[in-house]
Amino acid sequence: MTQAAEPNDGAGETPVPPEGDGRPAAGSARVPIPRPADSAQPSPSVQPVLPVQPVVPVVPVQPVQPVVPVVPVQPVVPVQPGRASVPVPGRAAVPAPQSAIVPGRATVPAPQAPVVPPASAPGRAAVPPPVPAAFNAPVTALPHQPSAPGRASVPASAPTTYQSGQNDVPKKGRKGRRLAVVLVAVLLLVALLGSGAAVQLTRDLPNATLTTGIATTIKIPGALPKIPWPAQGSAELMIEGLGRIGGSGGKSAQPIGSVAKVMTAYVILKDHPLEGDDEGPTLTVTAADVADYQSRIPSGQSLVAVQEGEQLSERDALEALMLPSANNIAHQLAVWGGGDVDGFLTKMNAAADELGMTDTEYTDPSGFLPTTISTASDQVKLARAVLKFDVFAEIVELREAQIPVAGKILNYNALLGVDGVFGIKTGSTDQAGGNLVFAARLKAGSRDLVIVGAVFNQPGANTPEQLAAVNKVVRKLLASVRSTVKEYELLAAKPVGQVETAWGASTTVTPASALKVVGWPGLAVKVKTTTTTPGPRVTAGETVGEVQASGVRVPLRADAATSEPSLWWKLTRKP
Q: What's residue 103's pLDDT?
A: 44
Q: What's residue 167's pLDDT?
A: 52
Q: Rounded CA gap, 315 and 400, in Å?
A: 13
Whether the per-residue pLDDT at 371 is higher than 60: the answer is yes
Whether the per-residue pLDDT at 325 is higher than 70: the answer is yes
Ranked by mean pLDDT, the top range of 120-134, 151-165, 194-208 is 194-208
Q: Are 422 and 295 in contact (CB under 8 A)?
A: no
Task: Give the residue numbers marked as catalytic.
Answer: 258, 261, 325
Q: What's residue 223's pLDDT?
A: 86
Q: Rounded CA gap, 313 and 338, in Å?
A: 17
pLDDT, tens digit (0-9, with 9 covering 90-100), for 210-266? 999 999 999 999 888 899 999 999 999 999 988 999 999 988 999 999 999 999 999
Q: What's residue 178's pLDDT?
A: 79
Q: What's residue 11's pLDDT?
A: 39
Q: What's residue 515's pLDDT?
A: 96
Q: Are 442 and 239 in contact (CB under 8 A)?
A: yes
**Confidence band of 80 (pLDDT split at 50, 70, 90):** very low
What's the whole-number mean pLDDT along residues 533-541? 91
Whether the per-residue pLDDT at 104 is higher than 90: the answer is no
Q: What's residue 375's pLDDT?
A: 97
What is the Cα 64 distance to its own chain's centre? 63
Q: What is the pTM of this model?
A: 0.62
**Confidence band of 187 (pLDDT split at 50, 70, 90):** low
Nearest to 67 by CA among 164, 139, 160, 163: 164
Ranked by mean pLDDT, the top range of 101-105, 317-321, 486-490, 562-566 is 317-321
Q: Rounded CA gap, 216 and 526, in Å?
A: 6
Whether the per-residue pLDDT at 290 is higher than 90: the answer is yes
pLDDT, tens digit (0-9, with 9 covering 90-100), for 447-506? 899 999 999 999 999 999 999 999 999 999 999 999 999 999 999 999 999 999 989 999
Give the amino acid at 149: P
Q: What's residue 60's pLDDT?
A: 53
Could you give the C-alpha distances from 209 to 300, 415, 503, 542, in angstroms and in order? Answer: 73, 56, 11, 14
Q: Rounded CA gap, 310 and 293, in Å?
A: 13
Whether the per-residue pLDDT at 86 is higher than 50: the answer is no
**Confidence band of 173 (pLDDT split at 50, 70, 90):** low
Q: Rounded CA gap, 562 and 334, in Å?
A: 69
Ranked by mean pLDDT, the top range of 197-201, 203-207, 342-346, 504-508 is 342-346
Q: What's residue 556's pLDDT?
A: 97
Ranked by mean pLDDT, the top range of 25-39, 71-85, 290-304 is 290-304
Could you give the C-alpha distances from 354 to 122, 231, 349, in angstroms and in order? Answer: 139, 31, 9
Nearest to 316 by CA among 326, 437, 388: 326
**Confidence band of 377 (pLDDT split at 50, 70, 90):** very high
pLDDT, tens digit (0-9, with 9 covering 90-100), for 107-130? 444 445 444 444 444 444 444 555
Q: Rounded CA gap, 68 and 86, in Å?
A: 25
- pLDDT > 70: percent of the chain: 67
Q: Which of 170-174, 371-375, 492-496 has the lowest mean pLDDT?
A: 170-174
- Collapse the DSSP code of 383 into the 3-class scheme (helix H, G, I; strand E, B; otherwise coil) and give the result: helix
**Confidence band of 10 (pLDDT split at 50, 70, 90):** very low
494 is in an annotated binding site: no
Q: What's residue 5's pLDDT?
A: 40
Q: Which helix (H) or strand (E) holds 346?
A: helix 341-354
Q: What's residue 168's pLDDT?
A: 52
What is the Cα 362 distance to its own chain's centre? 58
Q: Rounded CA gap, 437 and 570, in Å?
A: 69
Ranked by mean pLDDT, the top range of 10-14, 58-62, 192-196, 309-313 is 309-313
Q: Rounded CA gap, 261 and 563, in Å?
A: 68
Whether the per-residue pLDDT at 62 is higher than 60: the answer is no
